[in-house]
Amino acid sequence: MMEFTAMINRLLSKYPESHRRKLYIRTFAVIPLTEEDCGMMEWVPYTHGLRARIAFAHTIAVWSMVGHIVGLGHRHGEKILFDSTTGDCIHVDFSCLFNKGLLLEKPELVPFRLTQNMIDGLGITGYEGVFLRVCEITLSVLRTHKETLMSILETFIHDSLVEWTKTHSPAV
């Protein structure tokens, strides 16, 4: 297959449209050790597949549990960012807290956003592998430190900006 992809790269470099767009297949060296199914593959530098998948699982699991606890709603693709260099998932826009998602025109009844595409990104174990374990660990930490976390959340109740937003925002 490596010979085949090398030939494709040579052909792509000679065709003006593909050359201009710098199209290519990234290749790597393979040394066959047997005639059938054993060989050594070059370590491909600057690849982060497993590390990024684990980071993705970690960050969506932590955010899912934290979001569930604080009632974070109105989650969609523009409010969940993805760092393509690390695999991290980052939530933005926290205007729909404390189960305000239940008051939307189409109430959000799920505790957190976990789409099929997100599950596919978790790899072969889906949500029953790293994701589930990190959810368990996160919930344990949140339970253990609930007094500390509640003291921070209580300030939201007395925040005048939150009150102003309630009276000056359009119906959710």
pLDDT at residue 9, as a whole number: 76
Model pLDDT for residues 10-68, shown as the tens digit of each residue: 877 887 877 777 877 777 787 888 877 778 878 777 666 777 888 888 888 888 888 88
Q: CA–CA distance from 138 to each of 20, 57, 86, 95, 144 (Å)?
A: 49, 12, 20, 23, 10
Paired with 80 in beta bridges are 91
Task: Assess whether pLDDT exceeds 70 at residue 79.
Answer: no
Q: Poorest-confidence range of 26-35, 79-88, 95-104?
A: 95-104
pLDDT at residue 1, as a whole number: 66
pLDDT, averaged across the chain: 75
pLDDT at residue 78, as a whole number: 64
Q: Which domains does the chain have, with CATH numbers?
A: 2-41 (no CATH), 49-168 (1.10.1070.11)
Q: Which helix (H) or strand (E) holds 164?
A: helix 160-168
pLDDT at residue 99, as a whole number: 65
Task: Assess whether pLDDT exceeds 80 at residue 91.
Answer: no
pTM tops 0.75, yes or no:
no
CA distance 71 to 93: 13
Rg (CA), the chain: 24
Q: CA–CA distance from 60 to each of 19, 76, 93, 106 (Å)?
A: 39, 13, 16, 24
Model pLDDT for residues 142-151, shown as the tens digit of each residue: 888 888 888 8
169 pLDDT tier (thresholds 50, 70, 90): low
In angstroms, the first-to-last Cα distance of the chain is 56
CA distance 4 to 92: 45
Model pLDDT for residues 100-144, shown as the tens digit of each residue: 766 777 777 666 777 777 887 787 888 788 888 888 888 888 888
